[in-house]
Amino acid sequence: MSKKPRTNLIFKSSIDCGVATKPIYCMIYNFFRVSFEYFENRIELLKNSIVEAY
């Protein structure tokens, strides 16, 4: 599992968004994307710890 720095992730996703006509949508999109990836990683860690516990 690769650990990406959060700031790099936000920066990269804003680059991916490109020149948005509505920057606020881009910000909202980035926020949800980063949040989703964060929670996805947390769930992955939780599953791994449960597997190791048994």
- How does pLDDT run across 1-54, given as a tens digit for each residue? 455 555 555 555 555 555 555 677 777 887 888 888 899 889 999 998 888 877
Considering the domain boundaries, does residue 6 fall inside one?
no
pLDDT score of 33: 84
Q: Which pLDDT belongs to residue 21?
A: 59
Q: Is residue 12 a part of any domain in this protein?
A: no
pTM over 0.75? The answer is no
- What is the length of the chain? 54
30 within 8 A of 14, measured Cβ to Cβ: yes
Number of domains in the chain: 1
Query: By residue range, what is the domain housing residue 49?
Result: 18-53
Whole-number pLDDT of residue 4: 52
Residue 29 in any domain: the answer is: yes
pLDDT, position 1: 47
User: Residues 6 or more apart from 10 whose CB is under 8 A from it?
Assistant: 30, 34
